[in-house]
Chain A
């Protein structure tokens, strides 16, 4: 096994284990922390694909900012294992079955997509994820969607401030 394969399997195992722990943890704060571990494992996958910029932005935005807000809310509402609502066994079963169906649909979609047929992931040699190429693509080919997205973000921010002031 090459180093890349060892890392791949390690990160995959870590990601799946942490994702399961997010679901089975009774304490919401533990769930959030396991979710951060998932983000770390996924960032590791990005680095294996040589998408360093995506990897670090994933960490800064999701692990560093959004999860801090999650923690804020959970800590301020003082949620803990006792206040966690206990669902009926049938509800859990229904959730598991519908989630499984969704997974099967996703897998079949990915397998049938013509863009992905016969392709393999570029390990450590693709360079579309590097900041230079990504920046060029964003500011030349995708400049209009990019600018529209930024206006959308701005309006969301203004909206949050307006609601907060009420």
Chain B
């Protein structure tokens, strides 16, 4: 079935996969907002949202409905087209990362071998970096188009924070790439699944720590949430936004959190690998389902750690943030890279 030299079944297969992954990510993000409030409540010894539905489970839908129903305000001095583009860009960039994450091994359905990954490109991890660096635009454009000094200040802070921490993140990543010798996330995960090989975190503990801190900064999570420091900047880059545009900005933070958790799980914690189990002995479909569950478990654990840190540690001052990024993390990441390279050379003889 080829028309216009396109394999239409493959196209449909990929479109279905994209739809499932995007909607699943949005669904998880929806409940991450709920989990955030519950975790905050537990850490502060109070019940948290418990009115809408059993255990307050319908709370995210109530929140969403509230945001949609609110009045949509576009300031009359704002740059209208860019004001609307900003939240859309932030959300798109957050969701684009899911294209290269290997969610599990393959399933066999209707005689077709379907890989549970949208695109296994040989530069997978660089693609993630490209998308992350584009995520800055959503914030910068939104902050600038609001035509508000506080928004602009917050947007500039966000951009400089993102650029500073991208550097250390990239350097930490290079050490992983030296260990695995591949840029494809699928290959990196497959290598960690080989019997007799530990997860990458065992070879790169310092690298993982640096990557984790940088991921937290890239997601604008406390203690790195300077772009929305309300006691200095009122509300941050999304001050002028209302209704669902504000919702998109807040929501993209949660999607970003899920994606960076997935990337960390793939790079350092074996992706969809189940510890102490040889997946090749199972039926492929069962192995695939168990793999998805394993990856989701790892993502949930990472998200919980993100929240735990947010509700425990206060925010950095801006100069402390820059000091940590440029004077501590980058030299540490360089050292990590040097040691990794030396050890690899030594082992090769």
Q: Are B130 and A64 in contact (CB under 8 A)?
A: yes
Across the interface, A75 reaches (CB within 8 A) one of B126, B127, B130, B156, namely B156
Residues of A within 8 A of B136 (CB): 64, 68
Q: Does A14 contact B (CB under 8 A)?
A: no
Residues of B within 8 A of A60 (CB): 126, 129-130, 133
Q: Nearest-CB distance from B159 to chain A (Å)?
A: 6
Q: Does A130 contact B (CB under 8 A)?
A: yes
Residues of A within 8 A of B140 (CB): 68, 71, 75
Q: Are B4 and A52 in contact (CB under 8 A)?
A: no
Q: How many A-B residue pairs have CB under 8 A?
A: 66
The chain B residue with its CB closest to the CB of A80 is: B79
Q: Mark A66-77, 1 if CB is under 8 A from B, else 0.
A: 001001100110
Q: Are A53 and B134 in contact (CB under 8 A)?
A: no
User: Which chain B residues in 280-333 approach chain A with CB under 8 Å?
Assistant: none
The chain B residue with its CB closest to the CB of A60 is: B130
Residues of B within 8 A of A131 (CB): 122-123, 183
**A64 in contact with B134 given A3-B5, A33-B141, A131-B122 (CB within 8 Å):** yes
Q: Are B127 and A56 in contact (CB under 8 A)?
A: yes
Interface size on A, residues (CB 8 A): 25
Q: What separation, in Å, do the CA atoms of A6 and B133 have in the docked complex?
A: 29
Residues of B within 8 A of A3 (CB): 4-6
Q: Mark B1-19, 1 if CB is under 8 A from A, else 0.
A: 0001110000000000000
Band of interface residues on B: 20 to 34
Q: What separation, in Å, do the CA atoms of A75 and B130 have in the docked complex?
A: 23
Q: Does B163 contact A (CB under 8 A)?
A: yes
Q: Are A2 and B4 in contact (CB under 8 A)?
A: yes
| Interface SS, B side | helix
Q: Mark B115-144, 1 if CB is under 8 A from A, else 0.
A: 000000111001101100110110011001
**A29 in contact with B144 given A3-B4, A76-B156 (CB within 8 Å):** yes
Q: Does A1 contact B (CB under 8 A)?
A: yes
Residues of B within 8 A of A11 (CB): none
Q: Does A57 contact B (CB under 8 A)?
A: yes
Residues of B within 8 A of A42 (CB): none
Q: Does A123 contact B (CB under 8 A)?
A: no
Q: Does B198 contact A (CB under 8 A)?
A: no
Q: What separation, in Å, do the CA atoms of A53 and B122 have in the docked complex?
A: 9
Q: Are A63 and B134 in contact (CB under 8 A)?
A: yes
Across the interface, B163 reaches (CB within 8 A) one of A36, A56, A57, A65, namely A65
Q: Are B126 and A57 in contact (CB under 8 A)?
A: yes
Q: Are B4 and A68 in contact (CB under 8 A)?
A: no
Q: Does B265 contact A (CB under 8 A)?
A: no
Q: Are A72 and B122 in contact (CB under 8 A)?
A: no
Q: What separation, in Å, do the CA atoms of A88 and B289 have in the docked complex?
A: 67
Q: Are A72 and B130 in contact (CB under 8 A)?
A: no
Q: Does B175 contact A (CB under 8 A)?
A: no
Q: What separation, in Å, do the CA atoms of A75 and B134 have in the docked complex?
A: 17
Q: Are B6 and A65 in contact (CB under 8 A)?
A: no
The chain A residue with its CB closest to the CB of B159 is: A68
User: Which chain A residues in 1-57 approach chain B with CB under 8 Å?
Assistant: 1-3, 6, 27, 29-30, 33, 36, 52-53, 56-57
Q: A36-B137, A64-B130 are in contact. List 10 more A-B contacts (CB 8 A).
A: A3-B5, A29-B141, A29-B144, A56-B126, A57-B126, A59-B134, A60-B126, A63-B134, A68-B140, A72-B156
5 pairs of residues in contact across A and B, judged by CB atoms under 8 Å = A27-B79, A29-B79, A64-B134, A75-B144, A76-B156
Which chain A residues have a beta carbon within 8 Å of chain B's beta carbons? Answer: 1-3, 6, 27, 29-30, 33, 36, 52-53, 56-57, 59-60, 63-65, 68, 71-72, 75-76, 130-131
